[in-house]
C-alpha cells in the first residue's frame, strides 16, 4: 500500500525530532486510513478544500478592502506562511506535510477586517475572542457541519501558532515563527506600496542585519532559523537576528499597525460588525440554519459569533447594507 511505504520513508528519512504520521495521537473520531495519503496529508487536503479556506481570499490582512490587486489578503498571507514553513521543515528534515497542514489551517477562524474584527468580537463577547481559538473551533465544529476531524498534531499547531502559544511539535514551532516572518515582511512590502512608509524609514540597525530588500530579509530570517535549529529540539532564531526581527516588528506596530491611514477605516469596520452582532443577538431566528442549529448546543451568543466571525469583509458590508440601509423603491 502506498501510504505504508510513505510512512516507512518518514521513519527512514526524517529527523528523530520530527512528528511521524504513523505515530500521530489520532483523531477525535475514528477514521479509516487512506490507501494513498498519510494522516497529515489527508488533513492538508481537508483544509484546502473547505469553505473557510476559500473565504480567506476576501478577508483583510492589514489593509481593509484595498483597491490595488497586489495587497495581501488573509489567503495570500496563509500561502506565504505555508511556503516559508515548508522550506524550514524540509531543510531540518521535519514533517513537511504536518507543517503545511497546520499552516494552511492556522487562520481559518480569523474575522472579517482582520485584527480589527478580532478586537471588536473580543470586546462584545462575554467570553472574549481569540482568532487562534476560533480557528480550532472552525476545524473541530463548524466546517462540514461536524468539523474536519483533523489529527491532534494539526489541531495543536493551529491553536498554538500565536507568539504566546506553546506548540507540542517542532512543526508547530516552525508555523509560529514562519507566521511572524511572513507578516512582518509582506506587511512592510504592502505599507511601502501604499506609501505609508518608505524603504528608507526602516530602522537602519535592523536593515544592516536583516537585509536591504524584501527578498534579502526573508532569506536572512529563514536561513537563520534553519542554521540555528539544526540538530536541536527547539526552533528559534539566533539572538542577533531574532532581536533585529523583533525591533522591526515593533517599528511596524508604531508606524503601520496602530496609527496610520491604513487604519482609517477601522472605526467603520468595527461599527459594521458591532451592529451585525447586536442585530442577530436580538433576532437569532434570522441566523442561517447552519448556525442557528448551534444555539441549543452552545448558546445564542456563540452561534452569533460563529456567523459573524465567518463572514468575509464584503459579505459583512453587503449584509449590513441589506439590513440597515433603505432600499430605493422604483415605480414602473
Euclidean distance between the first and the last CA atom of the chain, given in angstroms as a whole number: 68
- DSSP codes joined into one string, 174-243: HHHHHHHHHHHHHHHHHHHHTTSS-GGGS-HHHHHHH-SSHHHHHHHHHHHHHHHHTTSSS----HHHHH
Say if CB 78 and CB 131 are below 8 A apart: no
- What grid cell was written down for 145? 457541519
The angle formed by the CA atoms of residues 304, 59 and 166, to the nearest 5 degrees, is: 80
Say if CB 312 and CB 55 are below 8 A apart: yes
Say if CB 246 and CB 201 are below 8 A apart: no
Give CA–CA dist 118/140, Å, rounded.
20
pLDDT, position 144: 81
- Second-level CATH architecture of 45-263: Orthogonal Bundle (1.10)
Longest dimension (CA), the chain: 76
pLDDT, position 97: 98
Give CA–CA dist 207/151, Å, rounded.
40
pLDDT, position 326: 87
Give CA–CA dist 237/215, Å, rounded.
18
Instruction: Give the three-class secondary structure for 151.
Output: strand
pLDDT, position 62: 84
- Which residue, 238, 230, 256, 274, is CA-closest to 112? 274
pLDDT < 70: residue spans in the chain: 65-67, 259-263, 328-332
Between the alpha carbon of residue 231 and those of residues 9, 12, 225, the distances in Å are 20, 16, 12
Within 13 A of 59's CA, how many CA atoms are on the CB side?
27
Could you tell me the residue ranges of all domains in the chain? 45-263, 266-321
Instruction: Collect all residues with Cβ–Cβ distance below 8 Å to 84 and sequence separation of at least 6.
Output: 178, 181, 182, 218, 222
| Total-model pTM | 0.95
Within 13 A of 131's CA, how many CA atoms are on the CB side?
24
How far is CA 137 from its chain centroid? 13
Amino acid at each position: 500500500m502506498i501510504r505504508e511505504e510513505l510512512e516507512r520513508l518518514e521513519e527512514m528519512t526524517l529527523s528523530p525530532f520530527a512528528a511521524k504520521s504513523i505515530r500521530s495521537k489520532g483523531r477525535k473520531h475514528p477514521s479509516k486510513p487512506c490507501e494513498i495519503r498519510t494522516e497529515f496529508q489527508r488533513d492538508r487536503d481537508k483544509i484546502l478544500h473547505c469553505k473557510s479556506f476559500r473565504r480567506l481570499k476576501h478577508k483583510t490582512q492589514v489593509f481593509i478592502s484595498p483597491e490595488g490587486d497586489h495587497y495581501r489578503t488573509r489567503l495570500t498571507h496563509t500561502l506565504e506562511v505555508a511556503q516559508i514553513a515548508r522550506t524550514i521543515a524540509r531543510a531540518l528534515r521535519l514533517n513537511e506535510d504536518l507543517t503545511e497542514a497546520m499552516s494552511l489551517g492556522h487562520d481559518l477562524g480569523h474575522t472579517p477586517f482582520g485584527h480589527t474584527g478580532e478586537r471588536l468580537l473580543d470586546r462584545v463577547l462575554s467570553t472574549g475572542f481569540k482568532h487562534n481559538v476560533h480557528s480550532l473551533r472552525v476545524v473541530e465544529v463548524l466546517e462540514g457541519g461536524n468539523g474536519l476531524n483533523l489529527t491532534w498534531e494539526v489541531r495543536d499547531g493551529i491553536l498554538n501558532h500565536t507568539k504566546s502559544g506553546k506548540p507540542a511539535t517542532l512543526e508547530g514551532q516552525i508555523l509560529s515563527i514562519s507566521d511572524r516572518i511572513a507578516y512582518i515582511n509582506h506587511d512592510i512590502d504592502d505599507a511601502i506600496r501604499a506609501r505609508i512608509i518608505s524603504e528608507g524609514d526602516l530602522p537602519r540597525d535592523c536593515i544592516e542585519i536583516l537585509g536591504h530588500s524584501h527578498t534579502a530579509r526573508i532569506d536572512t530570517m529563514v536561513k537563520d532559523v534553519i542554521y540555528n535549529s539544526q540538530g536541536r529540539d527547539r526552533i528559534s532564531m539566533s539572538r542577533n537576528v531574532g532581536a533585529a526581527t523583533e525591533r522591526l516588528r515593533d517599528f511596524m506596530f508604531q508606524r503601520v499597525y496602530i496609527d496610520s491611514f491604513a487604519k482609517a477605516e477601522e472605526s467603520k469596520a468595527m461599527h459594521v460588525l458591532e451592529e451585525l452582532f447586536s442585530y442577530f443577538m436580538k433576532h437569532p431566528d434570522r441566523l442561517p440554519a447552519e448556525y442557528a442549529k448551534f444555539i441549543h448546543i452552545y448558546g445564542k451568543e456563540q452561534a452569533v459569533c460563529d456567523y459573524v466571525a465567518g463572514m468575509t469583509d464584503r459579505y459583512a458590508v453587503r449584509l449590513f447594507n441589506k439590513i440597515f440601509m433603505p432600499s430605493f423603491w422604483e415605480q414602473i
